Amino acid sequence: MKKLERSQLLKEIKEAFPDLRHAINQEFGLLHLEVGVFYCFTQQLIDEGKKESVIKAFEIADRFNRLGNKKIQNAIDVSYVEGLEFKNTGKNTRNWAWKLLPQSLKDDYIAFHGINKVKQFDKS
């Protein structure tokens, strides 16, 4: 089976979240920067408590993390998963989003941050 590629990822993101089209197009075709736009958008959705949109974003990231080529997998891991914040703050409730994060993305997050960081927001 052929691995999913950059053009497929960007098409899917832009179709799901049309407001990102302009910002992604301004990243000069650099995959990590394009995925970084998607990460920033997802974090904003988490901070704003937009559950349905977060689920949609996580589904896209998970699919391309599992089925994408090596460059896509690396970009999802480094420029998307590693930066996500799930710890509640005085301003934002975020830990709800951890429960929605697909396992493949959780595994990458834990591999980078370690289990101790996860314990801060992984409360039942």
pLDDT tens per residue, range 49-103: 999 999 999 999 999 999 999 999 999 999 999 999 999 998 999 999 999 999 9
∠ CA(49), CA(60), CA(76), 5° rounding?
95
Give me the domain span that covers residue 104. Answer: 6-119
Residue 47 lies in a domain: yes
Residue 124 lies in a domain: no
Residue 1 lies in a domain: no
Tokens read off for 16: 């799901």
Residue 103 lies in a domain: yes
CB crowding 69-103: b at 16 or more within 10 Å, else e: beebbebbbbbbbeebebeeeeeeebeebbeebee
Residue 115 in this model has a pLDDT that exceeds 60:
yes
pTM score of the predicted model = 0.94
Residue 72 lies in a domain: yes
Residue 73 lies in a domain: yes
- CA 109 to CA 52: how far, in whole Å? 21
Domains: count for the chain = 1
Tokens read off for 76: 């999802």
